[in-house]
Amino acid sequence: MFSATLGARTVHVRMANKSVELCTKTKTIATVKNLCAVYFQRLNKRLKTCDAVFIDSDTNDAHIITIEKANIETIRDHVECAVYMGGPDPLPWKKFVSDAKKHQWSQEDWQYFFEVSSSESEPEDDASDSDWAPESEASDDDASEDDAEDTHAND
């Protein structure tokens, strides 16, 4: 168990397998009964905190708390679901939750959403820099390969 911030309140986070409870000293604020994913956002080297977003596949709700970065590993160690690392900007969770409820997303839909979103945000690099060679060097390499083939053909 560790402390986090939910809005202006300090809450205690209890995790077990596929469930998460957010509690104050006197009552439970939110319960995620079927945790299907955890998404970390507002990740920045200069900040000491970030957001953890817990997705409940039963209700398609997203519960966002602010945590110390040191608690990321604690969360990763205690959950039995997919964990996604986002960027420095928060995502529009109200829209995502609205779409998820409207279309009755399942756990697989959430996972597909996160995997497609993360692959779209990564720049595509069809050819790595190490494969690139100036045109003159590339043609020299091709010529020397051709010479080697001609030498072996004459043997």
Q: Give the closest residue to 5 by CA, choosing from 88, 70, 67, 74.
A: 67
CATH class assigned to 2-120 = mainly beta
Distance of CA 39 to the CA centre of its chain: 6
The fraction of the chain above a pLDDT of 90, given in percent, is 68
**Whether pLDDT at 4 is above 70:** yes
Q: What's the pLDDT score for residue 126?
A: 47
Q: Are 8 and 18 in contact (CB under 8 A)?
A: no
**pLDDT greater than 90 at residue 135:** no
Beta-carbon contacts of 46 under 8 Å, excluding residues fewer than 6 positions away, are none
Domain coordinates in residue numbering, the chain: 2-120
By DSSP bridging, strand 35-41 and strand 61-68 are: unpaired
